[in-house]
């Protein structure tokens, strides 16, 4: 359960404690939080002093209750000698780190509480690195100071002038931040996978008889291969540089041309594949939507496999350990490979025009191709693909 302790100097401390925790152990926790020695603490609940041997449940303390802590002058002088060994410096570190460590170690109940509420500090207490222990104590002191500052700001807002515009803006910001924090906490509890790194989809293939790791991207309009990779696979001799252009996505790359057909092997079956060749050294081989559609591929995330030919072949997606590190740079992948290029996200890293005219002549070509039965958006895309060449665009549309 959580209880709130208010000190004599109006410091507010929130603690997570067990219902059957003893008052003495509660004071030991407060000693760390407030820097007030245990012997000098006097705790009051409903106006009555809480005895060290009593438990919180016997005293009637329940979740959310408030406990007052005041200094006990009578015990301060008699306990001065014993309190020196656990005295804390203004920055939160222990005046005598070794003595502080030993005293906390000797208190089994306190250690058990620490392992529940602050495992990092508990491990430092049990460890042999006093510098690390001091660093953690300083860090906890800074965290408490920041928490107190936030609580003070919240209290100021509660008593702020309701007609003060600036105060209302701060209240609005605080409410908004609280909603964000609650949403974040809910995500950590119910959807922790959202904070994990997502590994992109790669499968093993063979291109022209050479093993490759292909990046499967249904958001890419075209299948892409880099110039260096095409050269290594012996395919660069088939490059048709009439299909030059610019691939636009998040960033842009130069399209060097097109390889119209080459064999790829997925599982034990060979399939014909077309490639756009890009001057993109960071993305060797991207298996795009054109080939995914052509070969009726299914991205099965339940079984973590890519099914090809409507299911005649299934190949597993690679685990992170099986993917070369150079492929895991997602930022470079997004720049070099495909992503949405326009506002609707419908133009991935397929080739775009290097500069066809968008005047009356271009519109006339659009009209002629639309009259052949193609929709306008496909016609415009095909004309851009072939730099305004009407015949090549028509051949592409008929071939699709």
CB-CB neighbours of 139 under 10 Å: 13
Q: How far apart are CA 180 and CA 170, in angstroms?
A: 15
The predicted model gives 233-260 an average pLDDT of 80
Question: Residue 47: pLDDT above 80?
Answer: no
Q: How far apart are CA 348 and CA 338, in angstroms?
A: 5
Residue tagged active-site, from 65, 129, 217, 303: 217
Percent with pLDDT over 90 in the chain: 13
Task: Reply yes or no on whether the pLDDT at 8 is more than 80.
Answer: no
pLDDT at 83 over 50: no
Give the mean model confidence (pLDDT) for residues 316-334. Answer: 70
Distance of alpha carbon 122 from alpha carbon 133, whole angstroms = 9
pLDDT band for position 202 (50/70/90)? very high
**Model confidence pLDDT, tens digit, residues 152-164:** 777 777 677 777 7
pLDDT of 168 above 60 = yes
Give the pLDDT of residue 104. Answer: 83
pLDDT band for position 346 (cuts 50, 70, 90): very low
Q: What are phi and psi of 195, to 5 degrees?
A: -95, 0
- Hey, what domains does the chain have and what are their CATH numbers? 2-159 (3.10.20.90), 202-352 (2.40.70.10), 360-399 (1.10.8)
Give the pLDDT mean for 268-288: 86
Do the beta carbons of residue 348 and residue 381 sit within 8 Å? no
In this prediction, residues 180-202 reach a mean pLDDT of: 81
Q: Average pLDDT for residues 206-228, to the nearest whole number?
A: 89
Out of 217-231, 261-275, 285-299, 378-392, which region has the weakest mean confidence (pLDDT)?
Answer: 378-392
Give the per-residue pLDDT at 247: 66
Q: Comparing 198 with 267, which gets the higher pLDDT?
A: 267
Which has the minimum average pLDDT: 12-16, 98-102, 229-233, 356-360?
356-360
Active site annotation includes 322: no
Distances (CA, A) of 2 to 14, 32, 359: 7, 17, 71
User: pLDDT grade, residue 193 (50/70/90)?
Assistant: confident
> What is the reported pLDDT for 320?
81
Query: With contact defined as beta carbons under 8 Å apart, do 331 and 364 qualify?
Result: no
pLDDT tops 70 at residue 352: no
Task: Give this prediction's pTM.
Answer: 0.44
């Amino acid at each position: 359960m959580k209880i709130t302790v208010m000190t004599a100097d109006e410091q507010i401390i929130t603690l997570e404690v067990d219902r059957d925790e003893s008052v003495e152990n509660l004071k030991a926790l407060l000693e760390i939080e407030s820097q007030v020695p245990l012997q000098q603490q006097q705790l009051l609940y409903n106006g009555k002093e809480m005895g060290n041997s009593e438990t919180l449940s016997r005293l009637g303390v329940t979740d959310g209750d408030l406990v007052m802590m005041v200094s006990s002058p009578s015990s301060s002088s008699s306990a001065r000698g014993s309190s020196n060994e656990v005295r804390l410096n203004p920055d939160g570190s222990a005046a005598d780190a070794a003595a502080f460590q030993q005293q906390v170690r000797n208190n089994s109940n306190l250690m058990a509480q620490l392992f529940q509420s602050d495992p990092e500090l508990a491990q430092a207490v049990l460890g042999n690195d006093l510098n690390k222990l001091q660093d953690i104590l300083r860090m906890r002191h800074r965290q408490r100071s920041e928490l107190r500052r936030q609580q003070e700001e919240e209290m100021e807002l509660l008593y702020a002038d309701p007609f003060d515009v600036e105060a209302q803006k701060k209240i609005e910001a605080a409410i908004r931040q609280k909603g964000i924090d609650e949403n974040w906490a809910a995500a950590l509890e119910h959807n922790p996978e959202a904070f994990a790194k997502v590994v992109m989809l790669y499968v093993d293939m063979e291109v022209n008889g050479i093993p490759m790791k292909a990046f499967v991207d249904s958001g890419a309009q075209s299948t892409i291969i880099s110039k260096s990779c095409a050269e290594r696979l012996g395919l660069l001799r088939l490059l048709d540089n009439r299909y030059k252009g610019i691939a636009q996505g998040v960033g842009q790359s130069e399209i060097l041309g097109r390889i119209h057909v080459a064999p790829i092997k997925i599982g034990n079956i060979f399939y014909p594949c077309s490639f756009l060749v890009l001057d993109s050294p960071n993305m060797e081989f991207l298996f795009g939507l054109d080939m995914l559609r052509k070969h009726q591929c299914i991205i099965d995330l339940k079984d973590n496999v890519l099914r090809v030919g409507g299911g005649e072949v299934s190949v597993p997606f690679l685990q992170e350990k099986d993917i070369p590190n150079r492929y895991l740079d997602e930022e470079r992948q997004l720049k070099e490979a495909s992503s949405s290029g326009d506002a609707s996200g419908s133009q991935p890293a397929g080739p775009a025009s290097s500069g066809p005219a968008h005047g009356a002549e271009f519109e006339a070509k659009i009209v002629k191709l639309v009259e052949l039965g193609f929709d306008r958006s496909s016609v415009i895309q095909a004309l851009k693909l072939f730099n305004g060449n009407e015949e090549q665009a028509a051949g592409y549309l008929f071939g699709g």
